[in-house]
Amino acid sequence: RDVKNLPAMHVLGISWFTDSMKEGKPVAVETRHLIEVCGNLGDLCPAWWPERISLTHLCDALEVLAESYEFKEIPGRCLAFRRASSVLKSLPWAVRCLRDTEGLPCLGEHSKAVMEEILQSGHSFEVEKTLSDEKYQTLKLFTSVFGVGPKTAEKWYRGGLRSFSDVLAAPGIHLNRMQQSGFLHYGDISRAVSKAEARALGNLIDEAVRAVTPDAVLALTGGFRRYRGKEFGHDVDFIVTTREPGKEEKLLTGIIERLKQQGLLLYCEYNASTFDMVKLPSHQFEAMDHFAKCFLIVRLEGGRVEGGLHGAEGDGRGWRAVRVDLVSPPMDRYAFALLGWTGSRQFERDLRRFARAERRMLLDNHTLYDKTKFLAATTEKDIFAHLGLEYIEPWQRNA
Ligand code: DCT
Ligand code: MG
């Protein structure tokens, strides 16, 4: 594209290279030299480039930096990298050079510099340095345990702990119940959950729900509601409610009791509802919602899963542990809870920001508040309409 702007010597270099590529001749040219010549390999041979640097590659790099700033508790920078990664994720075109991202929002100077380095050389010095940093590696390992957040991980790291065996052997460490289960089922719950497994869990929860209240409403939410392709999740999220006002909390405890009786409950943390319309709207931006909910680890039998358990070849147990979240809003809050729990987190954040900045409204998992009144909604479409936005399907909310 920009060949005409290059000095003659370089143009010669390019035509020799492209001709050789067309003829299928192997070309032994140092990447470094080619970059000097062309500035970008993608421009030179677009057909060959996308296999080397995909959008996923760029997003992963930005996510590493986001995570490292999350560990360092610098939320602004963390968010900037997450935003940049989200914007790239939603692009319908390939990015071969920085020019392909011109005019896009949310790409800060730092993110652009990282992307440019990767697009030109295949690597980012900062990302590689982060990945090989002992503290980053240790915090990443510790926070991969269910129940261990950045603060606990940091505390363990400061105490000189570097591995799971260090943690488990350390005399002064008290693991709470959630962390104990996190270690106990670590192998299973750090393994991705397949769509077939999510479906099997849906059936299992559905049976439990029907046994408690035949007219209950159960909906799959979270990542599995957004995915269309072969994506995997880290847990399975459901919303469950009933048309009988005030009975939704009983429904949730009923489901838990039934799963327990069936011997399927490996862990359960139940949070009772603290939902109170009187205390709304909330001006807290990122607060957790107030609905009754539970964080579970459920035993899933391989026989219930179409095509069998994912990645369990040869372990011989015939079951696996899966993380499941159930949230139970009152029926008139269902649409808000569904929209909020469908995610992605970044999408939710942006939608709330849009509501506030562009519409002067407050949106959260409970309500949509317009200056003086709460707006009613029975479906997600109602909420989009109140916001003056075109409805978008869950699979379009992945960024
Ligand atoms: N959510 C929320 N409030 C919380 C936790 C989550 O509103 N306290 C929303 C944001 C995303 C959605 O619920 C599901 O959360 P996750 O299960 O963490 O993410 P996911 O998108 O389902 O992705 P995965 O589970 O595959 O990591
Ligand atoms: Mg999820």
pLDDT digits (tens, 9 = 90+) for 7-37: 433 444 445 455 555 555 544 444 444 444 4
Amino acid letter, residue 32:
R
> What does the alpha-carbon distance between residue 283 and residue 336 come to, in Å, rounded to a whole number?
16
What is the per-residue pLDDT across 322-365, written as a single tens digit (0 to 9) for each?
999 999 999 999 999 999 999 999 999 999 999 999 999 999 99
> Per the residue annotation, which of 188, 235, 289, 364 is the catalytic one?
235
Amino acid at 259: L
> Per residue, what are the HEC states of 204-257?
HHHHHHHHHCCCCEEEEECHHHHCCCCCCECCEEEEEECCCCCCHHHHHHHHHH
Query: Nearest residue CA, atom 12 of ligand 1?
Result: 341
Q: CA–CA separation, 191 vs 34, rounded Å?
A: 41
Name the residue at shortest CA distance from atom 3 of ligand 1. 288
Q: What is the pLDDT of residue 19?
A: 56
Q: Rg of the chain over CA atoms, in angstroms?
A: 25
pLDDT at 90: 83
Q: For the full predicted model, state whether its pTM sits above 0.90.
A: no
pLDDT digits (tens, 9 = 90+) for 99-148: 999 999 999 999 999 999 999 888 999 999 999 999 999 999 999 999 99
- Inter-residue contact 126 to 65 (CB < 8 Å): yes
The whole-number pLDDT of residue 361 equals 96
End-to-end alpha carbon distance in the chain:
30
Structure tokens at 169: 């052997």
Q: Closest ligand 1 atom, CA of 365?
A: 7
The pLDDT-based confidence of 230 (bands split at 50, 70, 90) is confident
Q: How many A from CA of 354 to the centre of ligand 1?
A: 20
pLDDT for 150 beyond 80: yes
Q: What are phi and psi of 373, to 5 degrees?
A: -140, 155
Report CA 23 to chain centroid distance, whole Å: 43
Q: Please report the pLDDT score of residue 22 as a whole number.
A: 54
Nearest protein CA to atom 11 of ligand 1, as residue? 343
Ligand having the closest approach to the CA of 399: 1
* Atom 15, ligand 1: residue with shortest CA distance: 222
Please identify, by atom number, the ligand 1 atom nearest to the C-alpha of residue 236. Answer: 25
> Do you find a cis peptide bond into 344, omega within 30 degrees of 0?
yes
Two tokens, residue 366: 């409970």
359-392 residue pLDDT tens: 999 999 999 999 999 999 999 999 999 999 999 9
19 as an active site residue: the answer is no
The answer to whether 200 touches 305, Cβ cutoff 8 Å, is yes
Task: For a ligand 1 pocket test, name from 146, 232, 296, 345 the mutation site with the most ligand atoms within 8 angstroms of its C-beta.
Answer: 345
Residue 205 has pLDDT above 50, yes or no: yes
Nearest to 120 by CA among 208, 2, 34: 34
Q: Answer yes or no: is pLDDT of 1 > 60.
A: no
Contact 254, 207 (CB under 8 A): no
> How do residues 30-71 score in pLDDT, each as one tens digit?
444 444 444 444 455 554 444 457 888 999 999 999 999 999
Q: Tell me if residue 43 is catalytic.
A: no
What pLDDT, on the 0 to 100 scale, is given for residue 285? 62
User: Closest ligand 1 atom to the C-alpha of 232?
Assistant: 26
Residues 6+ apart with CB under 8 A from 313: none
Of 166, 325, 350, 382, which is the active-site residue? 325
Tell me the pLDDT tens digit for each residue of 80-109: 999 999 999 888 888 888 999 999 999 999
